């Protein structure tokens, strides 16, 4: 009878301690709040990397070449920094001042020969202004990044 009583007390004490540790961990841990659907984070002029939960990292650069032409380059890699070759990559250009009014895309991006994971494309925008450039990797792994470029008259 003594063994049985000790076993029950030991089991009860162990379960109580485990429950207390789990409760403390739950109260102390503060998960990062997710942005609500209506809110968008403020974007600096530099490219934003892909979302935290996405398996692809994208570094985007856009440059105005004159005559309303924009050249976009992107480097796509996995989260372990391995280049993402032979991927399906597209870009979109959208005028910031008039969203969706002058949206271009999807424009397929081609992989640069001899540079695995590097992609490029050129777009002719309809008018002078600031454009949001979005690069999306569709296959084999999803990813997305944005940057902005100012297109002038020259």
pLDDT per residue over 9-41, tens digit each? Answer: 889 888 898 888 887 877 777 665 444 444 444
76 pairs with which residues across the strands?
Answer: 58
Residue 141: asked if its preceding bond is cis (omega within 30°), the reply is: no
pLDDT per residue over 45-99, tens digit each? Answer: 444 444 445 678 889 999 999 889 999 999 999 878 888 889 999 999 999 998 8
- Its pTM stands at 0.62
- Tokens 């020969």 belong to which residue? 113
111 pairs with which residues across the strands?
Answer: 119
Dump strand ranges (E) for 41-116. 56-66, 69-78, 88-95, 104-108, 110-111
- For residue 125, the tally of other CB atoms under 10 A from its CB is 18
């Amino acid at each position: 009878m003594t063994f049985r009583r000790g076993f029950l007390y030991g089991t009860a004490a162990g379960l109580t301690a485990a429950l207390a540790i789990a409760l403390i961990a739950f109260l102390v841990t503060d998960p990062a709040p997710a942005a609500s659907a209506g809110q968008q984070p403020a974007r600096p002029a530099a490219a934003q990397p892909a979302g935290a939960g996405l398996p692809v990292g994208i570094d985007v650069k856009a440059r105005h070449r004159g005559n309303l032409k924009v050249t976009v380059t992107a480097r796509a890699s996995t989260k372990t920094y391995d280049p993402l070759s032979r991927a399906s990559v597209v870009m979109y250009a959208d005028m910031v001042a008039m969203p969706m009014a002058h949206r271009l895309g999807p424009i397929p991006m081609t992989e640069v020969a001899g540079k695995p994971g590097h992609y490029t494309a050129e777009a002719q925008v309809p008018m002078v202004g600031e454009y949001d450039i979005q690069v999306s990797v569709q296959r084999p792994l999803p990813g997305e990044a944005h940057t902005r470029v100012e297109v002038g008259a020259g």
